[in-house]
Amino acid sequence: MLSKPLKAKLLYLWDKLQSSFWFVPVCIITAGIVGSILVVYADSKISYTPKGLISYVFPGSADSARSVLSTIAGAMIGVAGTIFSITLVVLTLASSQFGSRLLRNFMYDRLNQVVLGSYISTFIYCLLVLNAVEDNNHQIFYQ
C-alpha cells in the first residue's frame, strides 16, 4: 500500500500530466500507431478477396491504395496545420485583450486536444499503412 504523501505526490503528478496540452494527443497518436501496426499485421495474415458489390467500389490495386492513403494523409496534415495555426492566432489576439487565463482554459479543453490528436493520428496512421502497401508481382492489394 502506498503511503499518504507518496499517493498525494503521484496524484499531483498525474494531474499535472493530464493538464499538459500534449498528453491526450500523444495518447491518441500512440493508439493510431498501434492500430496501424495491428491492421498491417492482420492484412498480412488474412487473405481476403472481395465479391459482389464490394469488388466494384475499390479497384484493389496497390497504386489505388497508395493514392487514397496519400490523399487522406495530405488532407489531414493540412487541416491540422490550418486549425492549429488559426487557433494560435485567435489565442494570441484574445490573450492580449483578456489576459493569460484564456490560455489556461484552452489548455484544459479536451475537445481541442482530441481534435488535434485525431488529425495527427490519422496522418501518422496513413503514413505507416502507406509504407506497408507494396506491389508484389502484380498481386491485388485489398485494404
The predicted model scores a pTM of 0.78
**What range does the domain containing 73 cover?**
21-51+59-132
Angle, helices 110-132 vs 62-98, to 10°: value is: 160
Residue 2 lies in a domain: no
Stretches in the chain below the pLDDT threshold 70: 1, 58-60, 136-143
Output the furthest CA–CA distance in the chain (Å, rounded): 64
pLDDT per position as a tens digit, 15-53: 888 777 788 899 999 999 999 999 999 988 887 777 777
Give residues with Cβ within 8 angstroms of 26, minimum separation 6: 117
Residue 4 lies in a domain: no
Q: What are phi and psi of 134, to 5 degrees?
A: -135, 155
Residue 84 lies in a domain: yes
Question: Amino acid letter at 42?
Answer: A
Residue 16 lies in a domain: no
The domain total for the chain is 1
Residue 88 lies in a domain: yes
Residue 13 lies in a domain: no
Residue 138 lies in a domain: no
Decide: residue 27, CB within 10 A, 0-12 exposed, 13-18 middle, 19+ buried.
middle
Residue 14 lies in a domain: no
